[in-house]
Amino acid sequence: MSQHSSADRSAETPSVTETDERWHAISLENIYKTLETFPGGLDDAEARQRLARYGRNELVLEDKISPLRVFLEQYTSALIWLLVVAAAVMLFVGHYFDAGVILAIVVLITLFGFVQDYRAEQSIAALRELATTDATVLRNGERTEIDARNVVPGDVTMISAGDAVPADGRLLSESNLSVDESALTGESMAVSKRAAALADETALAERRNMVYKDTVVTRGSAMAVVVETGSNTEMGSIARALESAQVRKTPFQTEMDQLGKSIGVGVVLAVGVIVVAELLVGETDPLTIFLTAVSLAVSAVPEGLPAVVTLSLALGARRMAAKNALVRRLSIVESLGSVDVICTDKTGTLTEEEMTVQRVYAGDDVYGMAGSEHEVVHGTSLDEGQLHLDCVAELFRCGLLCNDTDVGRREGGERSYLGDPTEVALFVAAQTIGIDPDACRRRYPRVDGIEFTSERKRMTTVHETPDDETVAYVKGAPEVILERCDRELIDGEVRPLSTERRSEVHERIETFAGDALRVLGFAYRAVDDVSTPITEEIETDLVFLGLQGMLDPPRPEVPAAIEGCQAAGIRVVMITGDNAITARAIGDEVGLSDQVLTGSEVSEMEGDELRQALHNVDVFARAAPEHKVRILQTLQEMGHTVAMTGDGVNDAPAVKNADVGIAMGIRGTDVTEQASDIVLLDDNFATIRNAVREGRRIFDNVRKFVNYLLSGNAGEVLLVFTGAIAGLGLVITPIQILWINLVTDGAPALTIGVDPEADDVMERSPRPIDESVITDRIATSIVGIAVFMTVTILPLFYVHRANLELAQTMVFTSFVLFEMVRIQAIRWRYNLGLLSNPWLVIAVVVTLALQLVILYTPIGVLFGVVPLEGIHWLQIGTGVVAFVVLMLLFVRIQDQIFDRY
């Protein structure tokens, strides 16, 4: 047993048995007996009982969301304690009333911070909850896809290349199985597995008959019986899977942290000048000066800005998840707005992934499948009547047997076909012409095989025949199959495959592909000796059986989505394993250029030649994973920000190294999902377009509330600083400053985060990846707004300076009102109307209502205000108009100097 033994595991989750350390040494018969299970797996009722007994199959993280912890963390802020100290000083000098007000504001600030941070934590936790994988098990004797968290001890699970092993299991059978166990044992090489029992003392790293939770299948397939789940697995004390998905500081947050520190230094210097000026030339008492300094420091330093950014990103990510784009890393939301190239797969992403066999070529004849559009074109349809033709029967039998499709259930759903869409199409085609899949597979049991890989472009399975012979069936890319054939089946007779006939078959392949059909070739050969493990040598000297052409039409929404991306300055590149003719046909249908490069051509190109080609070529055919990586790296070297999609296990390197890695949630492998930044829950290209749109919207909103918060804070400091330097004394009281910070930097600022997108959000060029949140335009906007607020509010204080309480009330009310006007001033250049964000309207109305409550109710005594009369409101309104006019002029000047955003 490893050092991560049962002693380290959660005491709350029961283990199956106290002898769990010996699973590798127990015979399969005893394992079935111990686990009270069967080769056909559990039934649904028993599985539910075990789920209740053993708990969910997940690694329990220590840092569950604790409302108390989140609340107490609000009091780790130095600025909060600065206010507490200020309240203590007021208590010490006998100003109990002011101390109570300060403490009340402290409570309100921390409560608001708690709500904000807790919502962010909940949003992130919800994203983690969505980031789960499926597992294939036998339930009620049939293959069933379930949430991997619902796997229980005794389940019989099936795994294949690219899968993350759902739980610890003992192998029942395997075919060329290799597993990457580096996360558990540190062994960098994949480990070959065998089902035979081992000795008791076998070390963890050498237990070839066991598979372990969260290790990754790199090759082959297997069936295993689950022996431990969740915290009782060998990985239980490591909790790697979800820990790796924990949120790190995003570039936004890092930038905001650094900005906050810089502003903090500036505020300290400004407050220092104000204090010195008031002490030397002012008439304000030292205690009030102290409170003002504290209030300015608390209000002006944007300490909560990183938290607001986190909340905005988290809420945006949840909104994206609702639109089928699951964000695995919050930081990637920032990168979406910079993407200027999307490299996408064809099958299932640009197309519907609902393949149907439309046309077949067998025995030198072409047939349209009965009921397909090709039936009329070719005059001959395939149905049960053609099964007497040996060439037709063998072609469809090969497609059915060299196939991993099964009929089963998805958790809580109806019976359906489970498998790769291409193989499902072959399976259904065989059924359509009258072949019974179950009967055929019983008559031709599989005994061995070599799995499909993108490098090999073919798959082989070995079967026993009813005549006690052995045959290998092979399917794959037609040109790959054809080059391995030296004979063909014609009219029930095996004949030599002549050069002339090869040319004719190639012409058929091109004809099929020219009609946008995905073409597969099929072949077979007799096998003499199966006593030794088969090798690729079995895939030579084959007998060619024919072709099957499948139609996978483009998704109806894809052409418009690609056009929208192109309008947004985003280039779309299709990289597919299909041949060049099929790829060009699909590319034409979805709006891509008709220039095509094949993977072999990419391999032959030098760096400069490939860079030149990438300026013009949008379609790459017969591309292997290494071609994807090279195309990606070359685009990045050219200065592009690239989003890359992938689904297979070998796509993981390209997805991992892309600026935005996108995995397919339906057909994608677990290892590719783990390498990705975003998972498409519907595998649809239009969802990528929508994710980019949403990413741009989120970035716009972050910029808006950064501008709003910083310009307001700068305005407060500049107003008080200017008043002090001008000898006017304190133009606003400390309590009023704290209230402004609470109500205007609270709900109104947060509601900007849910602003709708600007009309032109997908008409702009992508944002440079290294562009800061605060551009030169936003920096000048922050300074300009602060200056304009000061020059339009300060005269109101000067006019009423003889009545200090009224003058400060005018400044206080003006500032709150200006804050509300300023929100729309910032939203102007995004062409967002006043009523486009209902939540913002509500926040503004509530804020203004609270201000009126302070002015015209007895509570006003707490804030040192007096009721304002009509003339006062008229003066404030004049200031607002002046501010709006200045802002309009300023925006026009900015338009002449800077880009719009």
Nearest to residue 187, comparing CAs of 215, 213, 163, 167? 215
Phi and psi angles of residue 546, each rounded to the nearest 5 degrees, phi first? 145, -165
Tell me which residue has tokens 């498998």. Answer: 419
| Strand partners of residue 146 | 135
Q: How far apart are CA 289 and CA 730, in angstroms?
A: 8
Alpha helices in 494-624 (DSSP H): 499-514, 558-567, 580-590, 599-604, 607-613
The residues near 190 (Cβ < 8 Å, ≥ 6 apart) are 178, 179, 180, 181, 218, 219
The residues near 4 (Cβ < 8 Å, ≥ 6 apart) are 234, 235, 236, 237, 238
Tell me which residue has tokens 């959660």. Answer: 10
Nearest to residue 257, comparing CAs of 616, 890, 773? 773
Nearest to residue 339, comparing CAs of 571, 763, 641, 568? 641
Q: How far apart are CA 364 and CA 490, in angstroms?
A: 7
Asked if 580 and 391 count as a contact pair (C-beta separation under 8 A), the reply is: no
Nearest to residue 523, comparing CAs of 437, 388, 394? 394
Alpha helices in 542-647 (DSSP H): 558-567, 580-590, 599-604, 607-613, 625-637
Nearest to residue 13, comparing CAs of 169, 215, 233, 225? 233
**Residues forming the active site:** 345
| Strand partners of residue 473 | 461, 524
CB atoms within 10 A of CB 590: 23
Tell me which residue has tokens 């003058």. Answer: 807
Q: How far apart are CA 293 and CA 716, in angstroms?
A: 12
Q: How far apart are CA 748 and CA 596, in angstroms?
A: 52
Buried b (16+ CB within 10 A) or exposed e, 270-294: bbeebbebbeeebeeeeebbbbbbb
DSSP 9: S
Nearest to residue 464, comparing CAs of 437, 442, 436? 442
Q: Count each helix (H run) and each strand (E run) in the chain, helices first.
A: 31, 27
Asked if 522 and 461 count as a contact pair (C-beta separation under 8 A), the reply is: no
Q: How far apart are CA 670 and CA 510, in angstroms?
A: 35
Q: How far apart are CA 579 and CA 771, in angstroms?
A: 40
The residues near 213 (Cβ < 8 Å, ≥ 6 apart) are 57, 165, 166, 167, 168, 228, 229, 233, 234, 235, 236
Q: How far apart are CA 133 and CA 668, in angstroms?
A: 10
Distance of CA 879 to the CA centre of its chain: 47
Q: What is the enclosing helix (H) or strand (E) of 883?
A: helix 870-897
Which sign does the torsion angle of CA 319, 323, 325, 326 carry? positive
Give the HSE-up count for residue 69: Cα atoms under 13 Å, Cβ half-sphere.
6
Distance of CA 591 to the CA centre of its chain: 26
Asked if 532 and 404 count as a contact pair (C-beta separation under 8 A), the reply is: no
